Amino acid sequence: MAAMLAAAPQARAEVTVLSTGFDDVGALGGWLFVNQSNPSGSLWFQGNSGIFPAQAGAGNAYIAANFLSAGQGSGTIDNWLITPELSLPGAATLSFYTRSAATPGFSDHLEVRYSSGGSAIGDFSNVLLTLGGGGPYPALWQQYSLTTDPGTTVRFAFRYTGPAANADYIGLDTVVVNAVPEPSVWLMLAGGLLLVLWRARRRASVARLLAMASLLAGAQGAAAAGQDGMVLVRDAETGALRAPTAAEFEALRAQQGRPPTVAPQVFQHPDGTRQSRVAQRQVYSVATRGADGVLASRCVHGEQAAEAALRQDGSRPRGANASEENSHEHR
């Protein structure tokens, strides 16, 4: 579990909130096209595979802008391509591919900006990247990855600008925006995971305690019957196992079944008589042999009566001719 929580902030798994390959520029949803060139000319348009093919997909599957962004190819270009408004849990990364036609003598100019959700041109005061202008513009498809400041909403803008006399033709392809959760978000996710695991372990511990209580319950009958054992009860308020109170113990003992049957014991008296106890309620049969050798028998109820009958026959002979006492259950 600790390893999982430690790995979570390091993984920083990104969530893709926008991915566009410009297969059909006319079908773009939520994108804004704003041309403030002077004089105004064409908007961003579907790529021309005859000039160069797309970075990915069909030959014309990219979006393009050129010197005709300003009317008649003269004046100042100010042509904007703006993404939909994106909701983010934290920082965001923007990646895209761009290139020029690499026509000698021309220098295209592109700015990448963002706003905190606003769509007005004045909202895009944050500049992330500037390409071309006074420097070279990529002659082949090149990928750029940029990161914004944390925010809840954002829009990105690609601004094709500069003097129309210096501009030629650029392409833009595979625009992807990924949201990167802040560390606090990961901490909340990790905390939620920790809570789930803790509850699962707690349920497992309770299950083990219940199983233990079930096993211990089997020893309660033995304890109530005077044998080796342990009696525990679960506290109704705390759920913990504890020793029972006197009242609880009496209630448990009252619920137990009949005590186990004990094999009857046979007692040999000094006068040779034998006595066995086989039940709580018994009728004793006492047999004696007289001096003339004649047997006499009688039945008495209870152990005390049998003992008295034996004592009354104190003059009878001992040894092999001694009287025998047997008992049977009262039915």
pLDDT of residue 186: 45
Per the prediction, the chain carries an average pLDDT of 77
Q: How far is CA 327 from the centre of its chain?
A: 70
Percent of the chain with pLDDT over 90: 42
Cα 213–Cα 216–Cα 219 angle in degrees, nearest 5:
155
pLDDT of residue 11: 46
Mean pLDDT to the nearest integer, 257-262: 54
Token pair in block for residue 139: 């002659």
Which segments within 231-294 are labelled E, that is strand? Answer: 233-234, 241-242, 265-268, 274-277, 282-289
Q: At what angle do helices 2-11 and 183-217 cross, to 10 degrees?
A: 160
**Which residue stretches of 145-182 are H helix?**
none
Per residue in 34-73, pLDDT (tens digit) is 999 999 999 999 999 999 999 999 999 999 999 999 998 8
Q: What is the DSSP code (8-state) at residue 42?
A: -
Cα–Cα distance measured from residue 113 to residue 212, given in angstroms and rounded to the nearest whole number: 66
pLDDT of residue 5: 39
The tokens 């220098």 sit on which residue? 107
H or E segment at 87? strand 86-87
Q: Which residues of 18-33 are buried (b: 16+ CB within 10 A; e: fewer)?
A: bebbbeebeebeebee
**158 near 137, Cβ under 8 Å?**
no
Cα–Cα distance measured from residue 183 to residue 12, given in angstroms and rounded to the nearest whole number: 8
Mean pLDDT to the nearest integer, 200-215: 59
pLDDT of residue 101: 96
Look at 208 and 109; give whichever has higher pLDDT.
Answer: 109
Per residue in 296-317, pLDDT (tens digit) is 766 666 677 777 777 776 544 4
pLDDT of residue 90: 77
How distant, in Å, are the alpha carbons of 269, 275, 281, 305, 308 from that of 311? Answer: 11, 14, 21, 10, 5
H or E segment at 203? helix 183-217
Q: How confident is the model at residue 167 (pLDDT cuts 50, 70, 90)?
A: very high
pLDDT of residue 317: 40
Cα–Cα distance measured from residue 253 to residue 18, given in angstroms and rounded to the nearest whole number: 72
**324 near 287, Cβ under 8 Å?**
yes
